[in-house]
Amino acid sequence: MGQISKVGAHKTKVHHDGTHVCVVYHATCVVRFNSDEIVLNSDGWRTVTTKLRMNQASNQYGLGFNVYQKEHVWYVDGRQFSDGMVITR
């Protein structure tokens, strides 16, 4: 498994869109956050690396969530993952 403490560099960019910080993997903003909310989005790409980038962003920026998989279903801190899910900060 890849490094979990810092967002990986391969096909990944971090930028500020004016209101949120976005962690973009390939062309998908997989984590978008500001002081009020966190938005998670796989854009249908539920891959090991997409999940890793989400968890790396959580660790690097102190966002406090964890994405994991059990029996082929993704979860975020006990809730079933869905694209566009919002976590209130």
Q: pLDDT band at 8, cuts 50/70/90? A: confident
Integer angstrom CA distances of residue 21 from 32, 33, 34, 63: 6, 5, 6, 12
pLDDT tops 60 at residue 1: no
84: burial class by Cβ within 10 Å (0-12, 13-18, 19+)?
exposed
Written as one string, the DSSP assignment of 32-50 is EE-SSEEEE--TT---HHH
Residues in the chain: 89
Q: pLDDT band at 5, cuts 50/70/90? A: low
pLDDT tops 90 at residue 52: yes
Q: Output the average pLDDT for the chain.
A: 93
pLDDT > 70: percent of the chain: 94
- What pLDDT does 13 receive? 93
Spatial contact of 31 and 57, defined as CB atoms under 8 Å apart: yes
User: Per residue in 16-48, pLDDT tens?
Assistant: 999 999 999 999 999 999 999 999 999 999 999
